[in-house]
Structure 1
Amino acid sequence: MVSIRQKLVSVTQATKVTNGKNNARKYIVVHETDNTNTGADADAHARLQINGNSRDASWHWQVDENEAVQSFEHFWACWAAGTFTGNNQGIHVEICVNRDGDFNKALQNTASLVAKIMKEENIPISKVVQHNYFSGKNCPRNIRAGKVSWATFLQMVSNANSVQPEKPIPDSKKYRIQTGTYNDRKVAESVVEVLKTRFGWIAYVEQNGNNFRVKTGTFVGITAAQNAENKIKTARLAQVTYILEA
C-alpha cells in the first residue's frame, strides 16, 4: 500500500504548463523520469514542478520507493505525452529512477497508485498505457528494456486492485514568504503594517545591506504558502516574492 500525499502546483503555474482544466481522463499513462541523479526522488520532482519546471512539461504524479506525490489534480491536461490527444486524455504518472532509490519498490508503489486511480476515475486496465503508446518515445525506458516486463507490471496493477491505498495527507512542512528588496525602510515597514492589519499575519523587516526585505511568519503546507504569496501579489505589495522553507 503506497503512501500518498499532495504537493500541488499553484493555479498560476499550472496555467503556464498545461492545456487547462480540460483533461478527459480516459487513460493512465506510465512514464519514467530518466533522471538517475542521486536524490532525484518523488519529492525532488514535485519541488521541481512547484518551483517552475525549466522545460515545457508537466505531469500529475511522481512515485519513488517511499511514496507517491501528486502535483496536479487530474482535471489538468498536463504536457507529458508528446501529443495533443495524450496530453488532453491522460493522467500521467512518473516512476523515479534515481540511482540511490529502489526501482522495484517504486514500481510496486506505482502499480498501487495506478490501481487507485483506475477505481477513482473508472478507467479500465486496457487504458493503462506507456508513454510510448502516444508519441513513440522509448518511455518508460527500463520497463521497455525488460527490467520488469509490461505484462508483469499490469499484473501488479491487477493484484493491487484488492488493496486500499492510504488517503492523501497534507504537506505539513512550514514555509514563509520573503519579498524582494526595498531601498526605503519606510516602504518595507508600510508593507509589514498591511500584512499585520489586513491579513492578520506575523511579519517583520529584515535589512539586507542598504536595502530591506519583508518576511512573514510561517504557513503550514505549500498550498497555504502559495495562497499567501498570491495575496501579497494581488495587493501589489511586492513585485518579487519567494517561498522559503521555515
Structure 2
Amino acid sequence: MVTIRQKLVTASQAVKITNGKNNAKKYIVVHETDNTNIGADADAHARLQVNGNSRQASWHWQVDDKEAVQSFEHYWECWGAGTYIGNKQGIQVEICVNSDGNYLKAVQNAASLIAKIIKDENIALQNIVQHNYFSGKNCPRNIRAGKVPWTQFINMVKNAKNIQNPPVDTKKYRILTGTYSTLKAAESATKVMKTTFGWLVHIEQDGKNYRIKTGTFTGINAAKNAEIKIKNAKLAQVTYIKDA
C-alpha cells in the first residue's frame, strides 16, 4: 500500500519545461531516477521540480519506498520520454534508486501507483511501457537488468493493493542542527541539503560556531523524515525539530 500526495509545480514554471496541457494520456512510461545519492528520494525529486529543475526535463510522479509524490497533473505533456510522441501521450513515473532506500519496496509502490493511474485514466495494461520503448535509453536500468523482471513488474501492477492518502497535518516545523566549528563545515552540509534534498536552508552564527536552519516542513512525519535524512547522510550528529 503506497501513500500518495501532491507537491505540484506552478503553472508559470510548468510552461517552461512541458509542451502544454494536451497530454493524450495513452501510456504510462516507467523510469528510474539513476540518482543513488543518499536522500535522493521522492520528496527530494519533487522539490527539485518545484524549485526549478536545471535540466530540461520533467515528470509527473516520483516514487520511493515510502510514498508517491505528484509534481504535475496528468494533462501536462512532461519532457520525460525522450520523443515527441512519448511526451505527448505519456504519464511519466520515476522510481527512486537512492542508496538509503529500499529499491524493491519502491518498485512495489510504483506498481500500486500505476494500478491507480490506469484505472483513473482508463489506460490499457499493455500501454505500461519502459522509457526504452520510446527513446532506446537503458531505462529503467535496474528493471531492465532483471533486478525486478518486467513481466514480474506488470504482474505486480495487476495485483497491486490500494492507495492510502496520508492524514492531514498542516502544522509547520523546521529542523535545527547542532553547531559546526567552522563555516566551511556548515557550508558543506548546506550544499547537500540544497542540491540533493532540494531544501531551503540557511546558516546561523552561534557564538564562534555555526548551525543550519531549514525551511518549513508540513506535518511532524515530514519533519521526522527530514531529520532522518540528515543523519543518514551524516550531515549533523545532533538535530532538533522546532515549531515554525
1:241 aligns to what? none
The superposition leaves residues 123-172 of structure 1 with CA deviations (integer Å, 9 ceiling, x where unpaired) of 01100000000000000000001111000000000011xx3212477784
Going from structure 1 to structure 2, the CA distance change for 1:170 and 1:70 (only over 3 Å counts) comes to farther
- CA gap 1:83/1:168 in 2 versus in 1, 3 angstroms: farther
1:84-139 deviations in whole A, cap 9, x for unaligned? 00000000000000000000000000000000001000001100000000000000
Structure 1 counterpart SS, 2:93: strand
Where do residues 43-122 of structure 1 align in structure 2 (5 Å cutoff)? Answer: 43-122=43-122
Q: Distance in 2 between matches of 1:219 and 1:96?
A: 21
Structure 2 gaps of 5+ residues are 174-215, 220-242
Q: 1:199 is matched with which residue?
A: none
Tell me the secondary structure at the aligned position of residue 164 of structure 2: coil
Q: Is the 8 A contact 1:27 1:89 kept in 2?
A: yes
Separation in 1, partners of 2:98, 2:58: 19
Task: Name the residue aligned to 1:188.
Answer: none
User: CA, structure 1 residues 158+23, in 2 after alignment: closer, same or farther (shift >3 Å)?
Assistant: same
Query: What letter corresponds to residue 37 of structure 2 in structure 1?
Result: N
Work out the percentage of aligned pairs sharing the same amino acid. Answer: 73
Aligned-residue offset at 1:62 = 0.2
Change (3 A) 1:31 1:171: farther
Whether the aligned pair in 2 keeps the contact of 1:5 and 1:171 (CA below 8 Å) is: no
Q: Which runs of no fewer than 5 residues in structure 1 stay unpaired?
A: 176-217, 222-244
Cα distance, 1:156–1:54 mapped onto 2, change above 3 Å: same
What TM-score do the two structures reach when normalised by structure 1?
0.69
Cα distance in structure 1, aligned partners of 2:171 and 2:18: 26
Matched-pair contact (CA < 8 Å) for 2:2–2:163: yes
What is the DSSP-based 3-state SS (H/G/I as helix, E as strand, rest coil) of the residue aligned with 2:69?
strand
Rounded to whole Å, the distance in 2 between the matches of 1:15 and 1:30 is 23
SS of alignment partner, residue 46 of structure 1: helix
Paired position in structure 2 for 1:182: none
Contact 2:115–2:158 (CA<8 Å) still a contact in 1? yes
**For each residue in 1:51-80, what CA deviation from the matched residue of structure 2 results, as whole angstroms up to 9, or x when unmatched?**
000000000000000000000000000000
- Say if 1:5 and 1:170, in contact at 8 Å, map to a contact too: no
The answer to whether the Cα contact below 8 Å between 2:2 and 2:162 also exists between their aligned partners in 1 is no
Quote the residue 2:189 is aligned against. Answer: none
- One-letter amino acid matched to 1:128: I
TM-score of the superposed pair, with normalisation by structure 2: 0.69
Are the structure 2 counterparts of residues 219 and 105 from structure 1 closer, same or farther at C-alpha, using a change threshold of 3 Å?
closer
Match of 1:123, SS state, is coil
Alignment match, 2:200: none
Residues 145 and 166 of structure 1: CA distance in aligned 2, closer, same or farther (over 3 Å): same
Alpha-carbon distance change, 149 to 37 in structure 1, aligned in 2, over 3 angstroms = same
Rounded Cα–Cα distance in structure 1 between residues aligned with 2:158 and 2:115: 7
Distance 1:141 1:169 in 2: 34
